[in-house]
Amino acid sequence: MTADKRLTPREQDFAAWYNEVVLRAELADYSPVRGSMVIRPWGFGIWERMQAALDQMFKDTGHENAYFPLLIPQSFIEKEAEHIEGFKPELAVVTHAGGRDLEEPLVIRPTSETIIYSMYAKWVQSYRDLPILLNQWANVMRWELRTRLFLRTAEFLWQEGHTAHATADEAQEETLRILGVYRDFMEQWVAMPVVTGLKTDSERFAGAVRTYSLEALMQDNRALQAGTSHFLGQNFSRQFDLKFQSVEGREEYAWNTSWGVSTRMVGGLVMTHGDDDGIVVPPRLAPTQVVVVPIVKGGDARAEAIHRKAEELRAILADQGVRAKVDRRSHLSPGAKFYEWERKGVPFRMELGPRDLDKEQVVLVRRIPLEDGRKKEFLSQPHAVATLPDRLESLQRDLFRRATVRREENSYRGVSEWDEMTEILETRGGFVYTGWSGDPTVEERAKDEMKATIRAIPSEEFRSTPAPTTCIGGGRASKMEVVWARAY
């Protein structure tokens, strides 16, 4: 085995490991366009599973899908003052089309609030037309100065939900409902624990009244904002004249929410579960859950029998709803296949060779070890096949448990001294819980001194007991607990 076949270990250079694993697990590749990437079938397969799960959850909570255009009149983006302030620097604008300069430039959507609410204004007259609960799956573009595969690309895929309600309470309830949906999704599908909470003003979405987010801790102990849900108040409805007549006959502006998660989640998955051998895909998201590797010798008369048995096992697994595949490629040695599928993070490998055929067994290998440290098990064929659905679910749970333990080990509560926070964030990293007076200058100072930000004002269940009493900035009393980290 030569050195260049291995990945740079995470311990040595996490950023290099991340890039290599994304490229070599064939999740994505660089494209000819600066900052834009190609999502390859293995990466897109994972995204498709994420989409399918989320889509179902949205529908189960009463939402419908629709589609709005890619191009937005520039004047729309400019209507909401904070919104344009926040997005102006990263807009890509079409000024020329059909061989002529356009009368009004068209912005390639960085997000779709403006065009969507302008349409809602057309569709809503009465409280009877509310709520509107729509979602769209789309691509958006933000001209970032520095990009990273999946984590920050100029163009990315996401879903954006946009709702309109008759009352503030109802919109607020929707904002939190989606926060819960996202949390379930991240825990149960991505197996990625998250801290939910409210953003401070400095990190709030441009144009929102309140932004809630879900923050995950990556293996290098930097935070990743995995999703956001915004309560927009009437900021956009006022600008786009999204009005309705209430039961009482009054004309009122609607209350909006918007929320999204993106292909960034794939990066989160990689940095949450990956190891020095490659990525580890949670079984529920894995395009292939079990790869059957037949081990056949060129001159062996049993070669055909082995392939037949492999196919038979695959078919039985498929009947049980397990996504299995037989790797019949003859130009690769078994070892080469093992490494390849491990790099791609397939949850289980099933080896089937002449010896197994004789004993009617298989060698089942788990992508990460069982609790007792074993990876390989020799199992009778019927038993292996029958237990695989349970084994997949068990691996799914183990991944979540392992990630949660890691996050807790790297979370620091009750930190009250500035120097202590500095020491943690500049060496180990992680989530640091402290008290905060609400003074934004404390945030600025942390950003300047240690490149750290308040990731969230945590939701109740994530708060510490006892609650902090003093502000981390020194002197003053704490008004709320906050979570600090260096972030992606």
Partner RNA sequence: CGGGACGUAGCGCAGUCCGGUAGCGCACCUGAAUGGGGUUCAGGGGGUCGCGGGUUCAAAUCCCGCCGUCCCGACCA
- Quick check: 331 binds RNA (CB under 7 A)? yes
- Quick check: 427 binds RNA (CB under 7 A)? no
Cβ of residue 333: shortest distance to RNA, in angstroms? 3
Q: Which residue among 101, 146, 250, 465 contacts RNA (CB under 7 A)?
A: 146
Binding map of RNA across residues 30-69, x = CB under 7 A, - = no contact? x---x-----------------------------------
Residue pair 115/144 in contact (Cβ under 8 Å)? The answer is no
Which residues make beta-bridge pairs with 126?
Answer: 245
- Quick check: 277 binds RNA (CB under 7 A)? yes
| Alpha-helix runs per DSSP H in 124-263 | 168-188, 235-240
Which residues make beta-bridge pairs with 39?
Answer: 28
- Quick check: 441 binds RNA (CB under 7 A)? no
Q: Is the dihedral of CA 376, 380, 386, 387 positive or negative?
A: negative
Q: Which residue among 80, 160, 340, 481 contacts RNA (CB under 7 A)?
A: 340
Bond from prior residue into 131 cis (ω within 30 degrees of 0): yes
Instruction: Give the nearer residue to RNA in terms of CB position, either 333 or 427.
Output: 333
| Alpha-helix runs per DSSP H in 25-112 | 41-60, 74-77, 81-87
- Quick check: 339 binds RNA (CB under 7 A)? yes
Residue pair 39/47 in contact (Cβ under 8 Å)? The answer is yes
Separation of alpha carbons 385 and 96, rounded Å: 59
Instruction: Give the nearer residue to RNA in terms of CB position, either 113 or 342.
Output: 342
Q: Could you give the 3-state DSSP secondary structure of residue 71? A: strand
Closest CA to 138 of 115, 120, 112: 112
- Quick check: 455 binds RNA (CB under 7 A)? no
Separation of alpha carbons 281 and 266, rounded Å: 10
Tokens of 287: 């395009």
- Quick check: 1 binds RNA (CB under 7 A)? yes
- Quick check: 263 binds RNA (CB under 7 A)? yes
Query: What residues from 352 to 381 belong to the interface with RNA (CB under 7 A)?
Result: 352-357, 363, 365, 375
- Quick check: 483 binds RNA (CB under 7 A)? no
- Quick check: 18 binds RNA (CB under 7 A)? no
Backbone angles phi, psi at 459, to 5 degrees: -60, 160
* Max Cα-Cα span within the chain: 86
- Quick check: 291 binds RNA (CB under 7 A)? no
Cβ of residue 327: shortest distance to RNA, in angstroms? 11
Instruction: Give the nearer residue to RNA in terms of CB position, either 81 or 477.
Output: 81
Residues that bind RNA (CB under 7 A): 1-2, 4-6, 15, 30, 34, 86, 89-90, 142, 144-147, 151-154, 156, 203, 205, 225, 228, 262-264, 277, 295-299, 330-336, 338-340, 342-343, 351-357, 363, 365, 375
